[in-house]
Structure formats: C-alpha cells, structure tokens
Amino acid sequence: MMILTAPIFGAKHIEGLIFVAILNVVLYFVFKKYVKDERRFMIIALILFYVFEVLKLGYLIIRDGSFPMNHIPLHLCSLPLYAFPIIVFVKKDYWLHHWAKAAGFGVVLIAGITALVMPVNIIGSNETWFSLEDNYLPFISFIYHGLMIFIPWYMVKAGYVSISRKSMLQAMYFTTIIMVIALIVNLIWDKDYMLLNTGNGSPLVFLRDIHQVVYTMSMIALGYIMIAITFGVTMAIVSRKK
C-alpha cells in the first residue's frame, strides 16, 4: 500500500521540526521556572498526553461519525497513555511503577524521535502547513510527538528517572506487554498496531515479501535494539557528565 504524504525532509517537514524544537525550548524554561516537584511534572505530562489524544480522537469521531478503529491507542506512540497513569497513580516502590517509568523514558523518547524523523503516518498529504484546517491532525501529531521527546528528556535532566541496564530491561518488559496486546488485536481485526502487521510506514515492510512472520519478528527485534541504543547512549552521556 502506497502512502501519499508530504515529502520527508521537504519544507513542511523541516518547518514542523523547527516548530517542535522551539516549542520544546519554551516548555523547558516554563517547566524549569514553575514546576519544581516530580509528581506535579508527571501529572502535567499525563494531562498533556491525554489532552492531545482526545483532540485527535474527538476530531476523527466528529469527522467520520464513528470511532476510528485504526486509532485504538495500541500504537507504539500510544505508550505514554499507559505509562504515565501508572507513574502517577502506582506507588513508587511497586515493580510496575519502575517498569512504566523506564518505558516512559526510553521507549517514549525513541518512538517520538522516530515518528518525527520519519513522519510518514503523521505529516499529512498537503505539502504546506496551510490551510490549517487541512493540517489539524498533522499539527496535533507533531505537538504530541514533540512532547514524547521533551518529557523523557526532562525526566533525565531533572533526575526523575534512573538510567541503567536494569531500567533498560524494565522498559522492554513493559513494552512487551503492550506489544502482545497489539499483536492479538492485529490478529483478530487485521489491524496494523505498532506496525507489526501490514507495516504501513515501516522501513522493514519489504520483509513481508519473504514472510509475514519474518517481518513481524524483525520489527520486534528492531524495537528492542532501538530501546537498547537509547539507554546505551543516555548512560554514556550521563556518565560522561559525571
């Protein structure tokens, strides 16, 4: 299936990235000045993710007249919707809190970066940001994925999350739970959650020509590799600063 989108690294894409960068710089100074408490930060993060998810789903429901089954929150970029409620409401000494916080950093960060670097599924078909009405979903998506970069980065910057080999494994465990649910839903309803089925927008979609299982397992392996790289690079940066 060919996806018609604005050119990757074309003018619209670059302008979107610049907008996200400026937004994140502004958010940094706002949070640094007004949000001094970890719990308050996590609550605000939770609210922001849900606000933009509701704005997206609400628009699609009004536009289409029904719930968009392709937008059940089981994509990799939906992970903040599961991780941050657990971070906020589950006690800090409980294993699930640690798993969610690790995933809320590493998995959310790499998913956000990947989505903005290769925004095939979120940039829309218009080659410019005008008219704004036609770019409602891309605009919402760029902000949402920008938050997916800012919030994990700030968690590390403020010392709200521990980065280690143990937390890397915890992030993988948490992601695996969501992934298994996505695989089951894909199998039952023939959807493409986490790009594990038809692979629309996936860089490995060509592997489906070999076999579906080869493609799906390769995507799972790639996901774990990207999580490991995210934690490895972050650990190296943190240790170097010390």
Please give the Cα distance from 29 to 21 (Å, whole number): 13
Residue 1 lies in a domain: no
**pLDDT value of residue 1:** 37
The domain total for the chain is: 1
Please give the Cα distance from 130 to 66 (Å, whole number): 27
- DSSP state letters, 50-99: HHHHHHHHHHHHHHHSS--GGGSS-SGGGTHHHHHHHHHHS-TTSHHHHH
Please give the Cα distance from 72 to 88 (Å, whole number): 22
Task: Identify the band that residue 75 occupies on the pLDDT scale cut at 50, 70 and 90.
Answer: very high
Q: What is the pLDDT of residues 51-73, one digit of tens each?
A: 999 999 999 999 999 999 889 99
Residue 215 lies in a domain: yes
Report which of residues 133 and 233 the model is more confident about. 233
Please give the Cα distance from 20 to 123 (Å, whole number): 13
**pLDDT value of residue 6:** 85
**pLDDT value of residue 4:** 59
**pLDDT value of residue 131:** 84
Q: Is the pLDDT of residue 242 over 70?
A: no
Q: Residue 145 is encoded by which pair of tokens?
A: 């994925």
Q: Among residues of the chain, what percentage have pLDDT more than 90? A: 89
Q: Is the pLDDT of residue 107 over 70?
A: yes
Residues 53-60: contacts with CB within 8 Å, 24+ apart?
A: 53/78, 53/81, 53/144, 55/140, 56/137, 56/140, 56/141, 56/144, 59/136, 59/137, 59/140, 60/137
Burial pattern 198-223, b for ≥16 Cβ within 10 A else e, equals bbebbeeeebbeeeeeebbebbbeeb
Q: What is the pLDDT of residues 174-200, one digit of tens each?
A: 999 999 999 999 999 999 999 999 998
Residue 3 lies in a domain: no
**Domain membership of residue 78 as a residue range:** 11-241
Please give the Cα distance from 109 to 152 (Å, whole number): 6
Residue 35 lies in a domain: yes
- Among candidates 224, 76, 216, which has minimal Cα distance to 208? 216
**Cβ atoms of 126 and 152 closer than 8 Å:** no
**pLDDT value of residue 30:** 97
Residue 80 lies in a domain: yes
Residue 64 lies in a domain: yes
Please give the Cα distance from 100 to 102 (Å, whole number): 5
Residue 57 lies in a domain: yes
**pLDDT value of residue 2:** 40
Residue 5 lies in a domain: no
- Predicted TM-score (pTM) of the model is 0.94
Q: What is the pLDDT of residues 149-162, one digit of tens each?
A: 999 999 999 999 99
Q: What is the pLDDT of residues 201-215, one digit of tens each?
A: 898 999 999 999 999
